[in-house]
Amino acid sequence: MRSLWLKAVSLICVLTLAGCSASPTGRNRVLLYDNSQMSALGAQSFEEIKKSEEVVTDKAIVSYVQCVTDAVTAEIPGHYGEEHWEVAVFKSEQVNAFALPGGHIGVYTGLIEVAETPDQLATVIGHEIAHVLAEHSNERLSRNQIVGVGTLAAAVAIGASDIEHKGATMAALGLGVQYGIVLPYGRAQESEADVMGLDLMASAGFEPQESVSLWQNMAKASGGSPPQFLSTHPSHNTRINQLESQMPKASGLRQQALANNKQPDCERPNL
């Protein structure tokens, strides 16, 4: 049993040291997957979503979302490597959007209704793209991988050989792990994506102050949000305060964009 525990701990150390890196804002994290693996997972997931959701074909709606997306993605630094981002609009009341590794973006019509201006839609699209650029999916999957080994090591270490006791141990560890590691896109990642996404949309010429209006709309649409400590997402007020603190830099980026004749002309259709 001791040898099994030592092997598990050794594997954790090897995985952690091999994939240790810093996030765009300097956070320490572990990335165990390469870009080709993440792109393949992103492409596969996107195809599955398109098969399970109703894809919007209305040209005005699709063109609008494509226009905003093209303006934002044009500001992605070249070293990130994605030259083309595939966009799909899904008919759903969900107030949501997502971006996947490999250059895939999905936007739900529920979000288009809540995002009242192209600038507000650009806020969300920039935010979701930032998750990809910051490799948050890779970070989440890597943590899950380490957690799978870690729970085995913990169970062996405390001598949980009886099935019932082992199950209780795993349940206890699982609860702690669930709120500490496994939940997708935790607060640090969400805040990171907010900052990066705001810079992207502002660099494209969109009005960054509209990001605050967006989250005010989101708060109204959600009818309030759960207490911050019960959610991986920052509360609406926390999010707004963080965006306001970044506004001087974002406003400067927009002024530079306007000086370079970057002013997206994306017409929001009637829904």
Angstrom distances, CA of residue 29 to CA of 100, 229, 250: 19, 22, 26
250: CB partners within 8 A, 6+ apart: 198, 199, 202, 208, 211
DSSP letter (8 states) at residue 234? P
DSSP letter (8 states) at residue 33? S
159: CB partners within 8 A, 6+ apart: 1
Of residues 47, 53, 75, 128, which has the active-site annotation? Answer: 128
SS3 per residue for 99-158? EECCCEEEEEHHHHHHCCCHHHHHHHHHHHHHHHHCCHHHHHHHHHHHHHHHHHHHHHHC
Residue 128 catalytic?
A: yes
Euclidean distance between CA atoms 40 and 109, whole angstroms:
26
Contact 189, 135 (CB under 8 A): no
Strands (DSSP E) found in the chain = 20-22, 28-30, 86-90, 97-100, 104-108
How would you class 203 by CB atoms within 10 Å of its CB: exposed for 0-12, middle for 13-18, buried for 19 or more? Answer: buried
Which pair of structure tokens corresponds to residue 247? 């506004």
Catalytic residues: 128
